[in-house]
Amino acid sequence: MTLTVAAPTHVVAIPAAFWGHLRPMLNLLLNLLKTHPNLHITVFITPSISSHMLVDLYAFQSKTDSGSCRLQTITCGEKPPEDTFVTPDFTQEVENYAKILPAFVKGVFEGKTDLGHGRVNEFAHVVPSKIIFDMCQTFFPAELRKIAKVLHMPIPPLLIFTPFSLSSLYQLFIEGGDGRYGRILKAVEQDVSAGIDIAEAYTKRPWEFDGSVVTPPDLPSKFDYEWWPLMTTQDTPAQAAMGFIPTHSAIHDRDVVGVVVPFIGELEPKATSTLEERLGKSIYAVGPQLPEEMWNGTVSQVAPDADGQKAIRFLDDMKVKHGSRSVAYVSFGSLFFPFTRPELVTYLLQSLRESNTPFIFSHPSGLRPPPPGLIEPFEGLEDVCLVKFAPQWQVLNHDATAFFVTLLSEVPVVTMPFGGDQAEIASLLTEILNVGIDLKQCKTFNDPAFRTLHDGTEVTGTEEAIKEEMKEAWVRMKAPDGSAMRLRVKEVKSRLRDSLANGRAGHDMVKLVRVD
């Protein structure tokens, strides 16, 4: 079904440089272009994600009726974007992006063609009517108010995008009155007012758990510390917390009129209704933004870059050698990784080898490289493929792929959540929808006394216990349990697609672009 709008419209999108945030936002934008033929979109991206994002865009642009001529990407940097990925100085890149972006956005609202630094606005003839910004770009609402004041214009509708599930949004932003993030933020502000260094405050405050029972809407009860099961394994947990806790202010910002979420309200009805009531903002539960080929199971197995081609060749070889549903796909994304407990990843990869399970390991190559010495022992081994960036849709749709070992996903998984929204999404997948297995023995809490999970599991955390649990998971994924999970995934995908075609997600996709 094609939707129409009365006149050409222009949406500005401001993503974050995390693949877990960028990929669903990018797919949302691409799907909006296909369903709204008069829509134009400008995306402002950071230099470090330019090359990988453009790979996805080129694949999209090669399709007919993609609407790609109505999408422009502008790299926010003083230099031309890199042709190939380089690991950035993340702090410096964030600072540069925040410095340059406001001038670019101002130029777009002024209808300028030349934005400076060699960047060209091809849609100068259409003034933006809405802005969608990632929750981690917490500085933006205040900058937009400055731009509006200078240009003597009303603030356009400002929508915040978050890849967080609806239940996790409830827990982090409104549970108990102000949400977990709000309570941490107030405690940090009090510490800073008392003269405590902000980094020291963030080192202490996020990990203050008392073992109380917390029950998010639509999810089972757990002890409070279970909802952040691996965050303390970050080598800079204070910096990680400083990047996410201030999103509380952005979600509650007075000029943010709506929250865009790639989940469906039908799976989390209590959380959805409570969020709309308590936040006082529209919730656009647009559902998982997958390419059409993912829904149809017709994803092309032609990869656009060397890493992708290596991964697809490996899967082709493993299907011949080991048969269908034989390969594990392991990915930890661009930010979260157990840096202070890298042995967890070693145990994981070793247990796959010891159980004769071939695997692709897409190791962290974005904002942080993997710890030295982690990858080398597995290089050149038979039935092992190591890449920095795997073409996710192609890998997940290949006949050789048996399961996905990840932080979270929309497909059958073995989950290893860290913090933020990941434990809630893992719970939704593994305990409510029953399409995955959550690894428990690797959980690492801030207090050694926290060893018992609400379901009665005792976390010993030894190498023997961790490997034993992992091997059991690999066996289950390749046995009838795994087949049953794949059937349930099909059922869940049917519910998701029905929401997009006939339910709330489809209606919210229309409302998202509509100009009232």
In a domain, 264, yes or no: no
pLDDT of 372 higher than 50: yes
Q: In terms of Cα–Cα distance, which of 251, 229, 262 is closest to 409?
A: 262
- 89-to-45, 86, 366, 492 alpha-carbon distances in Å: 16, 9, 11, 40
Task: Answer yes or no: are the C-beta atoms of 413 and 403 closer than 8 Å.
Answer: yes
Structure tokens at 69: 């001529």
The answer for residues whose C-beta is within 8 angstroms of residue 49's C-beta and 6 or more apart is 15, 17, 19, 22, 366
Work out how many domains the chain is built from and give that number: 3
Tell me the mean pLDDT in the region 224-240.
83
Residues 464 and 336 in one domain: yes
Is the predicted pLDDT of residue 49 greater than 60, yes or no? Answer: yes
Estimate the crossing angle of helix 47-61 against helix 19-35, to 10 degrees.
Answer: 30
Beta strands in 121-245 (DSSP E): 130-134, 158-161, 213-214, 222-223
Residue 367 near residue 87, CB atoms below 8 Å: yes
pLDDT for 469 beyond 70: yes
Domain extent at residue 199: 180-239
143 and 198 housed in the same domain:
no
Distance, first Cα to last Cα, the chain: 22
pTM: 0.89
Residues 212 and 145 in one domain: no
pLDDT of residue 396: 85
Looking at 75-84, 185-194, 495-504, which range is the least confident one?
75-84
For residue 449, being part of any structural domain is answered with: yes
**Are residue 312 and residue 443 in the same domain, yes or no?**
yes
Q: What is the pLDDT of residues 263-319, one digit of tens each?
A: 999 999 999 999 999 999 999 999 988 777 777 766 677 776 788 899 999 999 999
d(CA 165, CA 169): 6
Considering the domain architecture, whether residues 79 and 208 belong to the same structural domain is answered as no
Q: What is the pLDDT of residue 85?
A: 44
For the segment 483-489, the average pLDDT, to the nearest whole number, is: 92
Q: Are 329 and 362 in contact (CB under 8 A)?
A: yes
CA separation, residue 2 to residues 30, 33, 35, 166 (Å) = 14, 10, 5, 28
DSSP H helices in 338-454: 343-354, 392-396, 422-427
Q: Is residue 339 part of a domain?
A: yes
- Does residue 270 belong to any structural domain of this protein? no
* Angle at the Cα of 133 from the Cα atoms of 61 and 41, rounded to 5 degrees: 30
**One domain for residues 33 and 102:** yes
Banded pLDDT at 62 (limits 50, 70, 90): low
Q: Are residues 221 and 309 in the same domain?
A: no
Find the Cα–Cα–Cα–Cα dihedral 369, 375, 380, 385, rounded to 10°.
Answer: -60
Supply the CATH number for residue 105's domain. Answer: 3.40.50
Q: What is the pLDDT of residues 160-185, one digit of tens each?
A: 999 999 999 999 999 888 899 999 99
What are the CA-CA distances from residue 362 to residues 359, 366, 437, 478, 496 (Å)?
10, 11, 20, 21, 27
